Amino acid sequence: MLQYQCNSIYKIQKFNTDSTSDFVTRLSYETWGIIIGNYNVDAIFIYYLVTYLKIIYCSFPGKIKQTKQTNITNPLVTLGTEVSCHHKRELYISCRNISDQNLINHYKSIAKFCLMLSQLQKSFTTTAWY
């Protein structure tokens, strides 16, 4: 999962069967003769890394996203609440695409926790002001 940071930039790559087969095909067509014939370990590693990353980035295209910086005007929304809601949203997106019962149960427990947290915050702020 992605780690939440305020105003950060991250990359999302999609992995599916088509892109995986494209990755395997591109990897099989690559010539590895330079690696076999070279005795310099540093040159071998750099060539391998550059080639491998080039194939990965071509096979699994990604989108660069940036989280929006939010101004917290509501006193109920703290940084912890915001992080929990963001984590819940990421789990929801994962559960939508994957039918893993453990992941769905984890999402349900996180959703219950967020609901309980927001209810406690509401009751705390209403009793604190009166």
Block means of pLDDT (10 residues each) for the chain, 130 residues, are 52 83 90 79 88 89 74 65 83 82 86 85 64
| Contact status, residue 40 vs residue 47, Cβ threshold 8 Å | no
| Contact status, residue 87 vs residue 55, Cβ threshold 8 Å | no
| Contact status, residue 92 vs residue 33, Cβ threshold 8 Å | no
Could you state, in order of their start, the residue ranges of all structural domains in the chain? 11-66, 67-130
Q: How confident is the model at residue 69, as a pLDDT?
A: 63
95: Cβ contacts below 8 Å, ≥ 6 apart:
103, 104, 107
- The strand pairing partners of 113, in sequence order, are none
Q: How confident is the model at residue 75, as a pLDDT?
A: 63
